[in-house]
Chains A and B, each alone.
Chain A
Amino acid sequence: MKPFEVKDCTLIAIATGVQAQNLRELREKMETIHPGSIYYHFWGGMLHSRFEEPEFNNDFAAWVRHALHDPVLAERLAVIDPTDSPDLEALRQELIEVMEERLYELEHIPWARPGEEFHFIRSQIVVFDTHRRLRDPEELPYLLPNFSLGSLFYHFIDARRRTPEGVDDFRAWLCGFGGKYDDLCEMIAAIDPYFTTLTELRQILSKVFMDYFGRVI
């Protein structure tokens, strides 16, 4: 079995130069914006330093709440879970539908003040090799608490759009042990990667591995 290669990563932001001043513009720009921008505005924030839990897990909801002052639409956007959509195009369509529905309900289009426009950003990912290798899944409970947040993002978040099966790297690796870890894979699959922070995810995953291997060792 190939060892698990521990990687680290960072994102570098690239402005698209596309911006929206009001809800109609946001909806229109959403039609054609680079799919990487939708990805960034849902997931990119996880790698930012934060002092508090984010009020909204995606940038669209946060902007609608704080710049357009529309709490109704903000809540509807905030509840969208990107892991429910098979791909970014499906996620784009869901966003557009929610925005269109709101535009239909409103008599006046909400505007942001100058200086508070929504700026569409995309990113490039840079993947580093930590040169750490896991040969045995039983090493996971010891290694995971020391994963950097970049490592966690790469293996648990980025993996879902990188791997052909659309799963995290832990499950992809464990599947190669001939069904021995199917129950562990199910436990990992049950973790919602979205409505949380990377620090919390690291704790949750560490606990899953600790409990699992603590039980079978």
Chain B
Amino acid sequence: MRELELYGQVAGKDVVEHLRQLASLLKGLKVVHINSTRRGGGVAEILERLVPLMKELGIEAEWVVIEGDEEFFQCTKNFHNALQGTPVSIPESVLQHYEEVNARNAEAFRELLQEADLVFVHDPQPAAMLKFCPDRKGKWVWRCHIDISRPYRAVWKYLRPLVASYDASIFSIAEFAQPLPHPLYIIPPSIDPLSEKNRDLPPEEVEATYRAFQIDLERPVLLQVSRFDRFKDPLGVIQAYRLAKKFVPALQLVLAGGGAVDDPEAEAVLQEVEAAAADDPNIHVLFLPPEADRTINALQRGADVVLQKSLREGFGLTVTEAMWKSKPVIGGDTGGIKLQVINHHTGFRVNTPEGAALRARYLLHHREIREAMGRKAREFVRENFLITRHLRDYLTLMVSLTYEVQERIELS
């Protein structure tokens, strides 16, 4: 069976028919996606599925990954932090290096980029490549996956002219968008229900995974899956667990995550977390390799309550993943989590470790409510955050830009 039909079984036949109608206007279009990592993080996960599906619909889609050195990724990590509001000083020489790396990558992919009808550039890492492709024939779109609603102004002042030259940009939610002189599409990201990370698993596999990490599935489990990143507030999660444990003595906490090639801070944050957890055998800190998708799937399925206590968040695909597995989520009241976690329906949004502890206690003590919220959470994801909806939005944007549509796209 073709991939799209498999998705139709999960998302509905009409959804696939909509994709085919949109794609009929885009057959043979040359589309390139550019980002900075092949594995690790939500962007790579999305592209891994989006690009093959575009191909199946008759679009000549390609995905290229830029290369950079440590100095480059330190600079782009600083961009990331600054765009999310942290004051960061980036020396002129480092910015120059950032542009040199972008120029080198533009040179490496020049032919492909010049010939493409549409180029999607993901996040700030490759954003300067457009500047080095003056002879491009297609439209270029900047896809911003992070929350830039209140950026550190000095860094935004540098980046804004680079992204203002694009033909359109995409933000995950309206609040993230900065005024730019082109259309600003709002496209929330998505999860792939058929991927290793999200497909159904036999209960024995879930049990075996927990056994392998010596975590007792007979006792309640709180779980946070995320990169070891300060914005994900892993230390706040430990504090929340300690507060909740006073009332749920059997409680265990699992902090599972990894790093990514473009995230040089992960190691330092991991050390802080390990130090904070060292005195408690019921806190399990798991540093997982990028290919541990099935392990993460099993951990999410086995948990009683999932946390995503981010202080700033782009969208929070780990929230979507947990909701798809029928888990209510206690999430930080920020970014895309606000779009997914609907208080008392799919989970709770919180602002402090105390708030997270309170809601964790409530959910752990009310099994029926927890399960009902989990069921609602799964349906909410089915309607809004599966890759089929994401692909439909991308195709809509592609039709709009290719045919310069203003308000209506009529298909047959």
Can you name 21 A-B pairs with beta carbons within 8 Å?
A10-B18, A10-B396, A12-B393, A13-B185, A13-B186, A14-B185, A14-B186, A17-B179, A51-B376, A115-B175, A124-B406, A125-B407, A125-B408, A125-B409, A126-B18, A126-B392, A128-B18, A128-B411, A129-B21, A130-B14, A130-B17
- CB contacts (< 8 Å) of B180 on chain A: these are 17
Q: What residue in chain B is nearest A148 (Cβ atoms)? A: B14
* Pairwise interchain contact A119-B175, C-beta atoms closer than 8 A: yes
Tell whether A109 is near chain B: CB-to-CB under 8 Å: no
Contact of A121 with B186 at beta-carbon distance under 8 Å, contacts A10-B392, A126-B396 already known: yes
- CB contacts (< 8 Å) of A134 on chain B: these are none
- CB contacts (< 8 Å) of B179 on chain A: these are 17-18
* Pairwise interchain contact B185-A51, C-beta atoms closer than 8 A: no
Contact among B22, B150, B185, B345 with A126 in the assembled complex (CB-CB below 8 Å): B22
Q: What residue in chain B is nearest A49 (Cβ atoms)? A: B383
| B interface residues, tally (CB under 8 Å) | 39
Question: What is the interface of chain B mostly: helix, strand, loop, or mixed?
Answer: mixed
* CA A117 to CA B383, docked complex, whole Å: 27
* Size bracket, chain A contacts: 20 to 34
Which B372-412 residues sit within 8 Å CB-CB of chain A? Answer: 376, 380, 383-384, 392-393, 396-397, 399-400, 405-412
Tell whether A127 is near chain B: CB-to-CB under 8 Å: yes
* Pairwise interchain contact A17-B187, C-beta atoms closer than 8 A: no
* CA A119 to CA B178, docked complex, whole Å: 11
Which B142-175 residues sit within 8 Å CB-CB of chain A? Answer: 149-150, 171, 174-175
* CA A72 to CA B157, docked complex, whole Å: 40
- CB contacts (< 8 Å) of B187 on chain A: these are 12
Question: What is the interface of chain A mostly: helix, strand, loop, or mixed?
Answer: strand
* Pairwise interchain contact A49-B384, C-beta atoms closer than 8 A: yes
* Pairwise interchain contact A124-B14, C-beta atoms closer than 8 A: no
- CB contacts (< 8 Å) of A13 on chain B: these are 174, 185-186
Tell whether A16 is near chain B: CB-to-CB under 8 Å: yes
* CA A12 to CA B408, docked complex, whole Å: 10
Most chain B Cβ neighbours within 10 Å, of A8, A17, A114, A115 = A17
Which A165-209 residues sit within 8 Å CB-CB of chain B? Answer: none
Contact among B22, B174, B392 with A15 in the assembled complex (CB-CB below 8 Å): B174
Tell whether A36 is near chain B: CB-to-CB under 8 Å: yes
* Pairwise interchain contact B184-A17, C-beta atoms closer than 8 A: yes
B positions within 8 Å CB-CB of A:
14, 17-18, 21-22, 149-150, 171, 174-175, 177-180, 183-187, 342, 345, 376, 380, 383-384, 392-393, 396-397, 399-400, 405-412
Most chain B Cβ neighbours within 10 Å, of A51, A115, A126 = A126
* Pairwise interchain contact A15-B396, C-beta atoms closer than 8 A: no
* CA A119 to CA B393, docked complex, whole Å: 20
- CB contacts (< 8 Å) of A49 on chain B: these are 380, 383-384
Which A104-142 residues sit within 8 Å CB-CB of chain B? Answer: 114-115, 117, 119, 121, 124-130
Q: What residue in chain A is nearest B187 (Cβ atoms)? A: A12
* CA A84 to CA B184, docked complex, whole Å: 31
Contact among A51, A121, A124 with B400 in the assembled complex (CB-CB below 8 Å): A124
* Pairwise interchain contact B405-A124, C-beta atoms closer than 8 A: yes
Contact of A115 with B411 at beta-carbon distance under 8 Å, contacts A13-B174, A15-B184, A49-B380 already known: no
Bitwise, A143-163 to B at CB < 8 A (1) or not (0) is 000001000000000000000
* CA A13 to CA B180, docked complex, whole Å: 16
6 further A-B pairs in the complex, CB-CB below 8 A; given A125-B409, A128-B18: A10-B18, A15-B185, A17-B178, A125-B407, A126-B409, A127-B409
* Pairwise interchain contact A119-B18, C-beta atoms closer than 8 A: no
Q: What residue in chain B is nearest A158 (Cβ atoms)? A: B408
Q: What residue in chain A is nearest B389 (Cβ atoms)? A: A10
* Pairwise interchain contact A129-B14, C-beta atoms closer than 8 A: no
* Pairwise interchain contact A129-B174, C-beta atoms closer than 8 A: no
Q: What residue in chain B is nearest A117 (Cβ atoms)? A: B175
5 pairs of A and B residues whose beta carbons are closest in the complex: A17-B179, A13-B186, A15-B177, A15-B184, A51-B345
Which A29-59 residues sit within 8 Å CB-CB of chain B? Answer: 36, 49, 51
* Pairwise interchain contact B397-A12, C-beta atoms closer than 8 A: yes
* CA A16 to CA B177, docked complex, whole Å: 9
* CA A203 to CA B177, docked complex, whole Å: 37
* Pairwise interchain contact B150-A128, C-beta atoms closer than 8 A: no
* CA A129 to CA B345, docked complex, whole Å: 34
How distant is A165 from chain B, measured CB to nearest CB, in Å?
18
